[in-house]
């Protein structure tokens, strides 16, 4: 992906599993596109919303329920299949919510088989999808599709890994994922000085950048195990990760962990 090389002790990092990372991305607000290999979308494919799920949710079985405009090429092809499974690929792109070089944090791909589910309004609520993805939800205007997962793949800040369908079904999204965007944006906007102080904990990494001046430190990603930052000077960037003493399951415990981290940097 052309990302800066992460600097962390080899084999020592605690991390979300590949299945958890894919599951988190599927259940997040990351941009997504749904396509059928070899399918010609035809006229109107460039219209906003074509092939782009308005909502998505993972149900207990591990299947992914996707809500699309009924007029989209993918929805039309799946409905025309009349219950037959249609091979499909869901592609997701994870973009950092703060301005940093190399802003794409990762990509994921989930391959499987699509079938159309009856109805949209009531079915969407039962599938865990928002009732109002892009305006008033009327059954005739929407198609609810089920993607049975065949395999998944992620290439992100942790590296490239394949995920089996049973691993995906058993995984859970990271508990901080729904808050990550606002938390990282808050750190970048209101805690610049404290972020900069983290350089005191990274003398060797900071010394790898081609300047005696401290690099800019930007918050890059956050999960229950730790915080990743990107240190940049000029065109050179290096990632570093700070692990929490123990996994944090909510924002209250995260604030406590961040306070301890900043206190260590200041001391």
Q: Which of 134, 154, 170 is the last residue of a domain?
A: 170
pLDDT tops 60 at residue 226:
yes
Are residues 22 and 127 both part of a single domain? yes
pLDDT at 209 over 80: no
Same domain, 181 and 165: no
In a domain, 72, yes or no: yes
pLDDT value, residue 196: 93
Percentage of the residues of the chain whose pLDDT score is greater than 70: 81
> What angle in degrees, to the nearest 10, is found between the helix axes of 251-266 and 177-190?
30
Q: How many CB atoms are closer than 10 A to CB 191? A: 14
Residue 67 domain flag: yes
Residue 258 lies in a domain: yes
- Domain membership of residue 46 (yes or no) is yes
Model pLDDT, residue 100:
94
> Is 3 part of any domain?
no
Structure tokens at 208: 């790898």
Percent of the chain's residues with pLDDT above 90 = 70
* Whether residue 156 is found in the same domain as residue 195: no
159 shares a domain with 196: no
Instruction: Note whether 63 and 104 are same-domain residues.
Output: yes
- pLDDT (average), residues 162-190: 97
From 151, 170, 189, the end of a domain falls on 170
Farthest CA pair distance, the chain: 66
pLDDT in tens, 103-159: 999 999 999 999 999 865 444 445 555 544 444 343 578 999 999 999 999 999 999
Looking at 105, 135, 170, the residue that finishes a domain is 170
Name the band, by pLDDT with cuts 50, 70 and 90, for residue 34.
very high
Give domain status of residue 142, yes or no.
yes
Specify whether 166 is located in the same domain as 184: no
Q: pLDDT tens across 53-92, in order?
A: 999 999 999 999 999 999 899 999 999 998 899 999 999 9
Do 111 and 209 fall within a single domain? no
Residue 198 and residue 134 share a domain: no
Are 69 and 151 in a shared domain?
Answer: yes
Q: Which residue range forms the structural domain that includes residue 136?
A: 17-170
Give the CATH number, domain containing residue 183: 3.20.180.10
pTM of the model as a whole: 0.85
Domain co-membership, 159 together with 206: no
SS3 state at 136? coil
pLDDT value of position 140: 73
Q: Could you tell me if residue 212 is inside a domain?
A: yes
We report the CATH number of the domain holding residue 153 as 2.30.110.10
When divided into structural domains, the chain yields a total of 2
Higher pLDDT, 206 or 48: 206
Instruction: Classify residue 5: in a domain, yes or no.
Output: no
Domain identity same for 137 and 186: no
Please identify which residue in the block is written with the tokens 């229950």. Answer: 224
Write down the residue that tokens 């960037």 correspond to.
Answer: 237
- Local confidence band at 215 (pLDDT 50, 70, 90 cut-offs): confident
Model confidence at 185, pLDDT cuts 50, 70, 90, reads very high
Shared domain for 129 and 234, answered yes or no, is no
Closest C-alpha to 94, from 158, 25, 45: 25
- Which burial class, exposed, middle or buried, applies to 190 when counting CB atoms under 10 A from its CB (0-12, 13-18, 19+)? exposed
């Amino acid at each position: 992906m052309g990302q800066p090389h992460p600097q962390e002790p080899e084999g020592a990092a605690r991390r979300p599993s590949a299945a958890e990372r894919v599951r988190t991305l599927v259940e997040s607000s990351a941009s997504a596109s749904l396509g059928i290999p070899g399918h010609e979308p035809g006229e109107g494919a460039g219209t906003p919303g074509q092939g782009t799920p308005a909502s998505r949710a993972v149900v207990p079985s591990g299947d992914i329920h996707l809500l699309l405009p009924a007029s989209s090429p993918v929805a039309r092809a799946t409905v025309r299949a009349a219950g037959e499974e249609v091979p499909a690929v869901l592609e997701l792109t994870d973009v950092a919510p703060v301005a940093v070089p190399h802003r794409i944090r990762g990509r994921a791909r989930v391959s499987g088989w699509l079938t159309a589910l009856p109805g949209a309004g009531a079915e969407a609520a039962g599938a865990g999808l928002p009732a109002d993805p892009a305006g008033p939800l009327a059954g005739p205007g929407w198609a609810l599709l089920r993607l049975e997962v065949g395999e998944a793949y992620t290439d992100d800040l942790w590296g490239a890994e394949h995920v089996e369908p049973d691993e995906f079904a058993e995984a859970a999204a990271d508990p901080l994922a729904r808050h990550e965007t606002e938390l990282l944006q808050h750190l970048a906007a209101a805690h610049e000085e404290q972020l900069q102080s983290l350089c005191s904990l990274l003398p060797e990494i900071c010394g790898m950048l081609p300047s005696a001046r401290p690099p800019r430190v930007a918050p890059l990603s956050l999960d229950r195990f730790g915080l990743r930052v990107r240190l940049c000077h000029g065109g050179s960037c290096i990632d570093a990760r700070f692990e929490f003493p123990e996994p944090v399951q909510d924002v209250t415990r995260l604030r406590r962990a961040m306070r301890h981290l900043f206190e260590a940097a200041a001391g």
